[in-house]
Amino acid sequence: MNCKKVLIVDDEKGFTSMLKLNLESIGAFEVKVVNESKYALMTAKQFLPDVILLDIIMPEKEGPDVAIEIRNDPTLKNIPIVFLTATITRDEVQSQNGWIGGNIFVAKPSSLKELLASIESSIAVK
């Protein structure tokens, strides 16, 4: 099975390193982390991930702005984005089956199982 490439864009270094460890331990993912959102576009262009896990509230450049840049880039525009955020609750996400405004959302903290399900469904939709 080919490893899926996951790009995590989140300013919480502790969180991204824990998530990277978990995803890599499964053996199905190749993970790259960007903690400064201003480098997200550049890294995405080099890494060409299968899915981008994107935090919403970040210093300098917020998640939605990063998402717009990615959507406007011809080489990246079809890469699914999963928004990872602490601003909404799991109930709010689950009440809409994870989809809010055409994007997949995962509330922080969610179990690894829930996050994997969201990654899989985003890749499947792609």
Residues in the site for another protein, rule: CB under 8 A? 12, 14-15, 18-19, 21-22, 25, 57, 86-87, 89-92, 95, 107-112
Closest distance to another protein from the beta carbon of 72 (Å) = 27
56-64 CB contacts, 8 Å cutoff, 24+ apart? 56/83, 56/84, 56/85, 56/87, 57/85, 57/86, 57/87, 58/9, 58/10, 58/11, 59/11, 60/36, 61/37, 62/37, 63/9, 63/37
Closest distance to another protein from the beta carbon of 78 (Å) = 28
Nearer to another protein, 100 or 123 (CB): 100
Closest distance to another protein from the beta carbon of 15 (Å) = 4
Q: Which residues contact 116 (CB under 8 A, 6 or more apart)?
A: 26
Nearer to another protein, 15 or 29 (CB): 15
Nearer to another protein, 15 or 83 (CB): 15
Closest distance to another protein from the beta carbon of 112 (Å) = 5
Nearer to another protein, 18 or 42 (CB): 18
Are 85 and 66 in contact by the 8 Å Cβ rule? The answer is: no
